Amino acid sequence: MKYAQTRQVMAIAPVIPVVVVSDAASAVEIARALVAGGIRVIEVTLRTEAGLAAIEAIAQQVDDICVGAGTVWTEAQAEQAIDAGAEFMVSPGIADDVNAVAQARDIAYLPGAQTVSEIAHLKRQGVTATKLFPASVVGGPAAIKAFASVFPDLVFCPTGGIKEDTARDYLALDCVPCVGGSWLVSADAVAGGDWEAVRLAAERAVALSDS
């Protein structure tokens, strides 16, 4: 069971941008803008029809970015995402079937958890890194501190409700190598094709790791 890859993905940038795309072409533009701003990782959610095609297009057309699939709930989705070129997978909650695929295919995986019991379940499955979702609702940095006290060997990627101005509070915790968030790629920027706004948001996100 190898989960070292998950921590490698979490070490790429202080933020894993979570994107919801409506077409593969704009996904490629988004990924290029993120790379131009210094963020070399992207989580494309499978919440839209275009998600898989977007992962494939980014994997084939954008250099120097680690592309992953988000909102992965089923074994079939996991297999399809990996076949499309996903290098990591993320689920908002526990999805044991997806975890089994991640282990069988030796790919980085960040399953979500909300409670101590869910984190304990994931730990029993061999998971050493979890997405905490929705982080702001679950209790923010204070909650993560409390979770970390009973799971000192785990790391967290809090996601959900985190913005540019609150990310630093999470990243200040030793057990939080990165956060996830959709704020870098706003719906307005995508609708207007404003890739420069995405690049600038990525640049500001990189700066979050400066102490």
Ligand X SMILES: O=C(O)C(=O)C[C@H](O)[C@H](O)COP(=O)(O)O
Question: Catalytic residue at 29?
Answer: no
Stretch that binds ligand X, among 60-68, 96-104, 116-124, 159-167 (CB under 6 A): 159-167
Strands 155-158 and 41-45 come out as unpaired
Question: Catalytic residue at 164?
Answer: no
180 counts as binding ligand X under rule CB under 6 A: yes
68 counts as binding ligand X under rule CB under 6 A: no
Q: How far is the CB of 69 from ligand X (least distance, A)?
A: 9
47 counts as binding ligand X under rule CB under 6 A: yes
Q: Measuring CA to CA, which residue among 159, 195, 163, 161 is closest to residue 178?
A: 159
For ligand X, the closer of residues 85 and 134 by Cβ is 134
Among 9, 10, 13, 18, interactor with ligand X by CB under 6 A: 18
77 counts as binding ligand X under rule CB under 6 A: no
Alpha carbon distances (Å) from 199 to 6, 110, 192: 25, 25, 14
71 counts as binding ligand X under rule CB under 6 A: yes
Q: How far apart are CA 90 and CA 141, in angstroms?
A: 20
Among 111, 158, 160, 177, interactor with ligand X by CB under 6 A: 160
133 counts as binding ligand X under rule CB under 6 A: yes
8 Å CB contact between 180 and 10: no
Stretch that binds ligand X, among 31-39, 141-149, 150-158, 180-188 (CB under 6 A): 180-188
Stretch that binds ligand X, among 28-36, 99-107, 149-157, 178-186 (CB under 6 A): 178-186
Q: How far is the CB of 135 from ligand X (least distance, A)?
A: 8
Find the catalytic residue in 29, 43, 118, 163: 43
Please give the structure tokens belonging to residue 205. 């996100």
Among 6, 26, 45, 166, interactor with ligand X by CB under 6 A: 45
Q: How far apart are CA 141 and CA 173, in angstroms?
A: 8
* Residue numbers annotated as active site: 43, 131
Give the binding site for ligand X (CB under 6 A).
18, 45, 47, 70-71, 90, 92, 133, 159-162, 180-183
